[in-house]
């Protein structure tokens, strides 16, 4: 079954204004249920725009988009989504536990069930003793982990993440990558994941979608073929390295400046 | 609320500052009395040098000693008692005015933040409403509340005074809440949208709490406005029992008993201080868990 079906989708900002931007033009993409997809490409190529279109936070200018067999709007109303963005966006008047509980509150879960799930999520992001802390008492990376816990708390069917690991240190980042893969495998969650890191995209994904700007479009889709189990072995494997090179070359095929930008951000 | 050593130290410092400020004002008053002329005089034809006579400026000491003496000769109750009772009465009316004003202000703010068109339609009227002098409004409201009896409910005079007070109190809250409710971070709104939160859920869980830092300064203004509104309307609608009325009636004894009116003015000052203290308590409670920058 396809979780997301995108047919000749376009998004043009300020269509008749002076600042007209063709953010996305004629995008086609199918995401299978349970699949992990990464979007990668130079700044301004429309990754966030595509993610927001899928999440029904933006409306397309033209084209078709279905999520779990229904319109994106219906999927959002059915609370099929979990979202995490680059800024943690925690609520400063709620403590850590209450922040994680927010989506559950909106779903109408009762108190004890919420608390139990929040604790479970806190253990997952390795911050179990911080339930009663206020967000401003945490470091940026810790806040980000809470935001990820919040996005995952309701076990959404479709997880949309926009550079969620950008603020994390390398060790936490790898830990979170493994945990994310584990949770998504356990709960059969479909993920659309935006990142600037080529190794991260390859390690996490079943397929890496390479995009290019002006106008924003998909230029290549790299199948990683790494199998379902990922671990340290995977990071050292030849397949992994080959796929990293494939993605890098797909990006090099873009504008020279843009490719150099990407190269700097990849580690 | 537990009091930490730093909180105690801060409290002590504030008390000392308050005493010093009072001392300075009292010192200036007595100082002018010592050097000022017995009769007021004119400069360039304007009467701007006030008289320092005991008649015009009684000694601070006699104001306080006046508190301990009977209100009128031969009557048992002291002025202190009368002033305290009147202050307590006005405090309750002003508190009612503040609560009513905050409720009305928040309701208006919510409606204006929800429907853009209502903001454009309502805001000019709200601004104009604040330019109407209370003195002009008071008789109108008195005659209305005399005639209107919704469901057989009889308005009492103190309610009219409270309504007039809330007429001044609602405005800062209304203005601050429209701004606060609309100034939510876009990423917070995206999060709410992604969870398909209703507007109502968003209001309760995000918009209201995030506008608390903007509402608190407005609450201070509202509290001050409620006190002023109630005191002025006590005088203009002739409500007995309150401190506003007491100021008026004591000032009529000014020629024979000049210190008397100042005792009532002390009462009004205490009323203002208690209201301000109440707002501080509310502020502390609401910002307990906030980062220090906004808690200040
Ligand atoms: N709300 C908006 N109004 C107008 N133009 C927009 C808006 N949002 C995005 N754009 C434009 O659309 C294009 C794609 O933006 P988008 O944010 O999707 O890029 P991105 O690939 O996520 O970039 P980055 O890697 O820097 O996050 C950009 O040129 C941007 O200027
Ligand atoms: Mg982006």
pLDDT at residue A262, rounded to an integer: 52
Q: What is the mean pLDDT of chain A?
A: 86
* Dihedrals phi, psi of B49, to nearest 5 degrees: -95, 105
Within chain A, what is the greatest distance between any pair of CA atoms?
A: 55
Q: Where are the domains of chain B?
A: 75-295
The pLDDT tens digits for B33-89 are: 888 777 777 777 777 777 777 777 888 888 887 777 777 766 678 888 888 888 999
Tell how far the Cα of A73 is from the centroid of ligand 1, in angstroms.
21
pLDDT at B248: 87
The mean predicted confidence, pLDDT, of chain B is: 85
Cβ–ligand 1 distance for A48 under 6 Å, the answer yes
Closest CA to B282 of B293, B272, B291, B295: B295
Our CA-based measurement puts residue B292 at a distance from the nearest CA of chain A, in whole angstroms, of 9
Are A82 and B206 a contacting pair at CB < 8 A? no
Give, for ligand 1, the residue of A25, A44, A60, A87 to mutate: max count of ligand atoms closer than 8 Å to Cβ. Answer: A44
Is the ipTM reported for this complex over the cut 0.90?
Answer: no
Please report the pLDDT score of residue A260 as a whole number.
52
User: What's the topology of domain B75-295?
Assistant: MetI-like fold (1.10.3720)
Of the ranges A12-21, B181-190, B220-229, the best mean pLDDT one: B220-229
pLDDT at residue number B246: 87
What is residue A257's predicted lDDT score, i.e. its pLDDT?
A: 52
Residue A8's SS3 state is: strand
Instruction: For residue A93, give the nearest of B195, B201, B209 by CB distance.
Output: B209
Of A199-213, B145-159, B240-254, minimum mean pLDDT range: B145-159
For the cut 60, the answer to whether the pLDDT of residue A256 exceeds it is no
B216 shares contact with chain A (CB less than 8 Å): no
**Distance from C-alpha of B246 to C-alpha of B248, rounded to nearest angstrom:** 5
Q: Which of A85, A54, A81, A57 is nearest to A147 (CA)?
A: A85
B199 reaches A (C-beta below 8 A): no
In this prediction, residue A259 has a pLDDT band, given cuts at 50, 70 and 90, of: very low
Q: Does B188 touch chain A (CB under 8 A)?
A: yes
Mutate to test the pocket of ligand 1, among A9, A11, A13 (most ligand atoms within 8 A of CB): A13
The reported pTM is 0.80
- pLDDT exceeds cutoff 60 at A267: no
b or e along A77-103 (b: 16 or more beta carbons within 10 Å of the residue's beta carbon)? Answer: eebbbbbbbbbbbbbbbbbbbbbbbbb
pLDDT band with cut points at 50, 70 and 90 for residue B1: low
**Which of A76, A106, A156 to mutate against chain B (most B CBs within 10 Å)?**
A106
Q: What is the pLDDT of residue B91?
A: 93
CA distances (Å), origin A225, targets A28, A64, A176, B71, B244: 21, 28, 21, 96, 83
The answer to whether residues A35 and A2 touch, using CB atoms and an 8 Å cutoff, is no
Q: Is the pLDDT of residue A194 over 90?
A: yes
Q: Which residue of A has its CA nearest to B185?
A: A89
Which residues, including other chains, have CB under 8 Å from residue A187's CB and lie 6 or more apart?
A: A155
Report the candidate in B260, B259, B251, B262 with the shortest Cα–Cα distance to residue B54: B259
Half-sphere exposure of B185 (CA within 13 A, CB side): 11
Q: Which of A48-52, A124-128, B3-7, B209-213 has the lowest mean pLDDT?
A: B3-7
Confidence of residue A261 (pLDDT cuts 50, 70, 90): low
- Tens of pLDDT, residues B221-258: 999 999 999 999 888 888 888 888 888 888 888 777 88
The Cα–Cα gap between B161 and B142 comes to: 9
Candidates B184, B185, B187, B191: best to mutate against A (most CBs of A within 10 A) is: B191
Q: Give the Å distance between the CA of A241 and the centre of ligand 2.
A: 26
Q: Is the per-residue pLDDT at B292 higher than 70?
A: no
Q: Tokens 């709200």 sit at which residue?
A: B126
Percentage of chain B with pLDDT > 90?
29
Interface test with B, best of A93, A100, A155 (most B CBs within 10 A): A93
DSSP conformational letter for A137: G
pLDDT above 50: residue A167: yes
Distance from CA of A237 to the nearest CA of B (A): 37
Tell me what the mean pLDDT of segment B91-119 comes to.
92
Q: Can you give the pLDDT at residue A53?
A: 92
Structure confidence at residue A266 (pLDDT): 47
Alpha-carbon span B111 to B126, nearest angstrom: 13
Lowest mean pLDDT among A16-20, A153-157, B11-15: A16-20
- A91: nearest CB among B201, B206, B291: B206
Residues of chain A in contact with residue B294, where contact means CB-CB under 8 angstroms, are: 92
């Amino acid at each position: 079954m396809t979780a997301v079906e995108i047919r000749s989708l376009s998004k043009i900002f300020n269509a008749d204004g002076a600042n007209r931007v063709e953010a996305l033009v004629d995008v086609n993409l199918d995401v299978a249920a349970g699949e992990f997809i990464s979007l990668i490409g130079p700044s301004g190529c429309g990754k966030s725009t595509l993610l927001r279109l899928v999440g029904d936070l933006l409306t397309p200018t033209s084209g078709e988009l279905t999520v779990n067999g229904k319109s994106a709007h219906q999927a959002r109303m059915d609370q099929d989504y979990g979202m995490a963005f680059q800024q943690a966006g925690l609520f400063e008047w709620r403590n850590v536990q209450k922040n994680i509980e927010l989506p559950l509150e909106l779903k109408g879960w009762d108190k004890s069930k919420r608390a139990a799930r929040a604790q479970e999520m806190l253990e997952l992001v390795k911050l179990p003793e911080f339930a009663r802390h206020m967000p401003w008492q945490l470091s940026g990376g810790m806040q980000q982990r809470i935001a990820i816990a919040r996005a995952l708390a309701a076990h959404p069917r479709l997880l949309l993440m926009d550079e969620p690991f950008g603020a994390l240190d390398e060790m936490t980042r790898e830990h979170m990558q493994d945990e994310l893969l584990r949770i998504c495998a356990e709960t059969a969650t479909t993920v659309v994941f935006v990142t600037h890191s080529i190794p991260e995209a390859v390690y996490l994904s079943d397929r890496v979608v390479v995009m290019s700007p002006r106008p924003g479009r998909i230029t290549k889709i790299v199948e990683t073929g790494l199998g379902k189990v990922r671990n340290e072995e995977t990071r050292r494997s030849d397949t992994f390295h080959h796929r990293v090179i494939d993605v890098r070359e797909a990006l090099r095929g873009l504008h020279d400046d843009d490719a150099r930008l990407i190269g700097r951000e990849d580690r | 609320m537990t009091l930490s050593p730093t909180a105690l130290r801060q409290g002590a410092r504030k008390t000392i500052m308050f005493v010093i400020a009072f001392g300075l004002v009292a010192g200036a008053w007595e100082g002018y009395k010592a050097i000022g002329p017995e009769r007021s005089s004119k400069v360039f034809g304007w009467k701007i040098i006030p008289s320092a006579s005991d008649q015009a400026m009684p000694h601070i000491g006699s104001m306080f000693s006046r508190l301990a003496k009977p209100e009128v000769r031969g009557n048992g109750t002291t002025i202190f008692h009368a002033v305290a009772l009147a202050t307590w009465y006005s405090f309750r009316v002003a508190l009612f005015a503040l609560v009513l004003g905050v409720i009305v202000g928040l309701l208006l703010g919510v409606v204006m933040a929800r429907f853009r068109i209502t903001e454009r339609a309502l805001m000019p009227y709200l601004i104009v409403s604040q330019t109407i002098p209370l003195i002009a409004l008071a008789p109108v409201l008195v005659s209305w509340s005399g005639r209107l009896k919704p469901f057989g409910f009889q308005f009492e005079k103190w309610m009219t005074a409270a309504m007039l007070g809330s007429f001044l109190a609602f405005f800062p809250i209304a203005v601050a809440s429209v701004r606060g409710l609309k100034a939510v971070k876009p990423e917070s709104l995206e999060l709410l949208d992604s969870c398909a939160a209703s507007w109502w859920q968003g209001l309760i869980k995000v918009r209201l709490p995030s506008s608390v830092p903007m509402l608190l300064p407005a609450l201070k203004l509202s509290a001050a406005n409620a006190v002023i509104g109630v005191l002025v309307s006590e005088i203009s609608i002739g409500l007995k029992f309150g401190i506003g009325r007491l100021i008026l009636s004591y000032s009529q004894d000014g020629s024979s008993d000049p210190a008397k009116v100042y005792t009532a003015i002390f009462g009004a000052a205490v009323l203002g201080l208690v209201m301000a203290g109440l707002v501080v308590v509310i502020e502390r409670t609401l910002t307990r868990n906030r980062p220090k920058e906004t808690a200040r």
